[in-house]
Amino acid sequence: MPPAETYRHITVRPEPEGFGAEVTGVTLRQPLSPEARAEVMRAWAQHCVLAFPDQPLAHEELEAFTLQIGPFGEDPYVKPMPSHPNILEVRREPDEKSRTFGQAWHSDWSFLDTPPAATLLHSKVTPPVGGDTLYADGYRAYESLSPTFRRLLDGLHAVHSARRSYGLQGTFATDPEKRAMDIITGESAEASRSHPLVRVHPLSGRRALYINPVYTIGIEGMTEPESKALLDFLFARMLEDRFIYRHRWRQHMLTLWDNRCTMHFADGGYDGHLRVMHRTTVAGERPVGVQ
């Protein structure tokens, strides 16, 4: 990957954790020049999570910027804004007692056949305390493992399902607390689908652990205790501090992250305060493993 100083149309400040970067020098409410867009895409491929501060965006501007990254993705189980079917409002009222949406490590909609490549999250109202989003780097977690262990993982497929969250007995179906977001639960969430446990990124060619504690429910061909032991070990590795970037929001910030090589977690911690974020996704491809 080229060093940060080779950017000419944007300014990229990598986070000291070695993952994630802040991008300035562009105005997202206007179409990017081809050169600036190419540099944003390059920075995204290099850093996996990009944060753009000071970017007030109307709904249409958020949609237009999303479409510069790629076509909209599918967003099941959460009702979108009625006037903007590709924007989800991630909203928590000050008096809500329900579990914070996204407060468990996940990669967006990994149970789909073609999960979204990217998610964009834009801050409208940020609480005075808490409300951070944490990101975990699936590339470096994979690369930290021994060659022998990596070879073993390269041949495995993990089973993903929405059932723990959106299924008949899932978190959202059984939570009696009122919530501002309109979440859909039901039978369709019980389905499961397998993806390679190690995903080869279509742009960078790098390998990443493609599993997450919310949607990954097992490993093909393994008993439950075997799957659990292996997944627990891998999740613990992915969540080591050295692989985490903590994003602290200010109003009018936008993050763009790559679901193919990261997990994320909404940290909560702002009970009594309003938090409003707008979220879009970009369509992805069927995950490809090591050939």
| DSSP letters for 7-61 | -SSSEEEE-TTSS-EEEES--TTSPPPHHHHHHHHHHHHHHSEEEE-S----HHH
Burial-class residue 154 by CB neighbours within 10 Å (0-12, 13-18, 19+).
middle
- 102 or 170, CB closer to ligand SIN? 102
Does residue 47 belong to the site contacting ligand SIN (CB under 6 A)? no
- 102 or 287, CB closer to ligand SIN? 102
Q: How many residues line the site for ligand SIN (CB under 6 A)?
A: 8
**Near ligand SIN by CB under 6 A: residue from 28, 90, 117, 158:** 90
Q: How far apart are CA 19 and CA 264, in angstroms?
A: 13
Contacts of ligand SIN in 254-283 (CB under 6 A): 264, 266, 277, 279
Burial-class residue 5 by CB neighbours within 10 Å (0-12, 13-18, 19+).
exposed
- 8 or 248, CB closer to ligand SIN? 248
CB of 145 to ligand SIN, least distance (A): 26
Pairing state of beta strands 49-52 and 21-24? parallel
How far lies 119's CA from each of 50, 110, 158, 258, 263, in Å? 11, 12, 22, 7, 11
Q: How far apart are CA 272 and CA 173, in angstroms?
A: 24
CB of 22 to ligand SIN, least distance (A): 17
**Near ligand SIN by CB under 6 A: residue from 102, 213, 218, 284:** 102
CB of 90 to ligand SIN, least distance (A): 5
- 104 or 145, CB closer to ligand SIN? 104
What is the x/- site pattern for ligand SIN, positions 206-235, by CB under 6 A?
A: ------------------------------
- 55 or 227, CB closer to ligand SIN? 55
Contact assessment for residue 279 and residue 81, using Cβ atoms and an 8 Å cutoff: no
| Helix, strand, coil percent content, the chain, rounded in steps of 5 | 25, 25, 50
Query: Taking CB positions, which residue lies at the least distance from ligand SIN?
Result: 102
CB of 43 to ligand SIN, least distance (A): 21
- 102 or 138, CB closer to ligand SIN? 102
Does residue 133 belong to the site contacting ligand SIN (CB under 6 A)? yes
- 182 or 220, CB closer to ligand SIN? 182
Q: How far apart are CA 284 and CA 102, in angstroms?
A: 20
Segment holding 282, helix H or strand E: strand 275-282
By the criterion CB under 6 A, which residues form the site for ligand SIN?
Answer: 90, 102, 121, 133, 264, 266, 277, 279
